[in-house]
Amino acid sequence: MPDRLTVIVPVSERHDDLRTLHDDYRKALLTVEQDLEFIYVLDGPKPQALQQLRELRSRGEELIILQFGKWFGEAAAISAGFSASSGTWVMTLPSYYQVEPASIADLWSSRKTSHMTVACRHPRAGSAWNRVLGRVFNALVRAITGTQLSDLGCGARLMSRNVLEEIPIYGDQHRFLPVLASMRGFSVTEVPLAQSPRDLVHRPYGPGVFLRRILDLVSVFFLARFTKKPLRFFGLIGTAIALVGALWTSWLVVQRVFMDQGLGDRPALILAALLITLGVQVFTLGLVGEIIIFTHARDIREYAVEEVT
C-alpha cells in the first residue's frame, strides 16, 4: 500500500490564523509527499477558527472539519481526527506556530526507520522559569519511564497508523503518547526542529500546571506497568503497610510484657491495628484486580505485532 499522510490539527485553547498556518504546513509537506489529507478538529465552539477554515475550503482546499459541541480536550480531538482519517501515516501538528513549518518535512523522512517520530524544539526559547520546569519534568519522565525524550510538550509528531490503533488516549495523555508507544514496543525517535519565533510564552507556568503534569505522568506509568499486574502494585503497598503495623504491634507487646508499660491509655495499639487492617484491605484490592484482569484477559492486549511474514 502506498504511503498516504493524514495531518491532524487539533484546535484547542490556542490557535493562530489557520489560513496562513495551513498554507505554510501544506507548502512544507508538498515538498516530500503529494498525497495529503488535512483534518482540523475544533475542540468546542470556535467561530473565528471555523470561519477561517471555511474560507480555506471556499478557495478549493480539501479539508475535513470536525467540531465538538463543547470542550473535550486535545486527546479527544486527536482520537476523533484519527477516526476520520484514511492515511497510512498520521502527523499531528499544533494549531499555532510552535515549530518552523519549513522544518516539519524532516519528520516525514524518518518514517522508514521508526514507528513514531516526535519533534524536539531546539534551540529552546521562552521564559527561563518555563525552561527550567520543562527540563525538570522531562528529566522525571526519563527517570520514571526510561524513555529518552526531551520535549513532550511539542505537538509535532509523526506516527504509523498502528500506533493510534493500538494505544487509546484520553484526558491529557496525548502528551505521553510517545512514552506509551515506547512501552508498548513501538520504536520512537526524536528529531530536533527549529522553534518558531512566535512560540514564546512569556507567562510563567504556575505550580498547579507542573503538579498536574506529574500526576498525569504517574497515571501513565501505572497504566503502562501495572494494568495487567495489579497485585504487584497493591500487594507491595499493602504488604509494606501491614508489615509496619505488625512490627509496631510487636514492639508494643514487648513493652507491655517485658517493660511493664500499660496500653490502656495509649492510642498506639489502635493505630498499629488500623495499619494492619489497611494493609490487608489494600492487598485484597490487588487480588480483586487480578480476578477482574483474569476474566477479561482475552480482551486486553499489551503487545504490538510489528510484522507477520
Quote the pLDDT of residue 225. Answer: 74
Average pLDDT, integer, range 148-173: 87
pLDDT for res 290 = 85
pLDDT-derived band at 142 (thresholds 50, 70, 90) equals confident
Q: Which of 153-162, 218-227, 228-237 has the lowest mean pLDDT?
A: 218-227
What pLDDT is attached to residue 205?
64
Average of pLDDT values for 232-251? 92
- When pLDDT is cut at 50, 70 and 90, the band that residue 140 belongs to is confident
Q: What is the DSSP string of 213-249?
A: HHHHHHHHHHHHHHSS-HHHHHHHHHHHHHHHHHHHH
pLDDT of residue 267 exceeding 90, the answer is no
The vertex-176 CA angle with 203 and 46, nearest 5°, equals: 55
| pLDDT tens sequence across 201-221 | 545 566 767 788 788 888 877
How far apart CA 39 and CA 46 sit, in angstroms, is 16
Tell me how far apart the alpha carbons of residues 183 and 8 are, in angstroms, rounded to a whole number: 24
Residue 171 and residue 119 in contact, taking contact as beta carbons nearer than 8 Å: no
- What percentage of the chain has pLDDT greater than the value 70? 90
Cβ neighbours for 233, distance < 8 A, ≥ 6 positions apart? 222, 225, 226, 286
Q: How confident is the model at residue 134 (pLDDT cuts 50, 70, 90)?
A: confident
Judged on CB neighbours under 10 Å (0-12, 13-18, 19+), 300 is: exposed
Query: What per-residue confidence (pLDDT) applies to 300?
Result: 59
Q: Measured between alpha carbons, how far is 210 from 206 in angstroms, rounded to an integer?
A: 7
pLDDT of residue 306: 62
User: In the predicted model, what is the mean pLDDT of residues 298-304?
Assistant: 60
User: What mean pLDDT do residues 120-149 have?
Assistant: 79
Q: How confident is the model at residue 297 (pLDDT cuts 50, 70, 90)?
A: low
Question: Residue 271 and residue 83: Cα distance in Å, rounded?
Answer: 53
Task: Give rounded-to-5 percent helix, strand, coil for the chain.
Answer: 50, 15, 35
Between CA 119 and CA 101 the distance in angstroms is: 12
Q: Is the pLDDT of residue 184 over 80?
A: yes
Q: Given this model, what pLDDT does residue 260 score?
A: 78
| pLDDT at residue 269 greater than cutoff 90 | no
Q: Is the pLDDT of residue 70 over 80?
A: yes
Top-confidence residue, 35 or 305: 35
CA separation for the pair 181, 177 (Å, rounded): 6
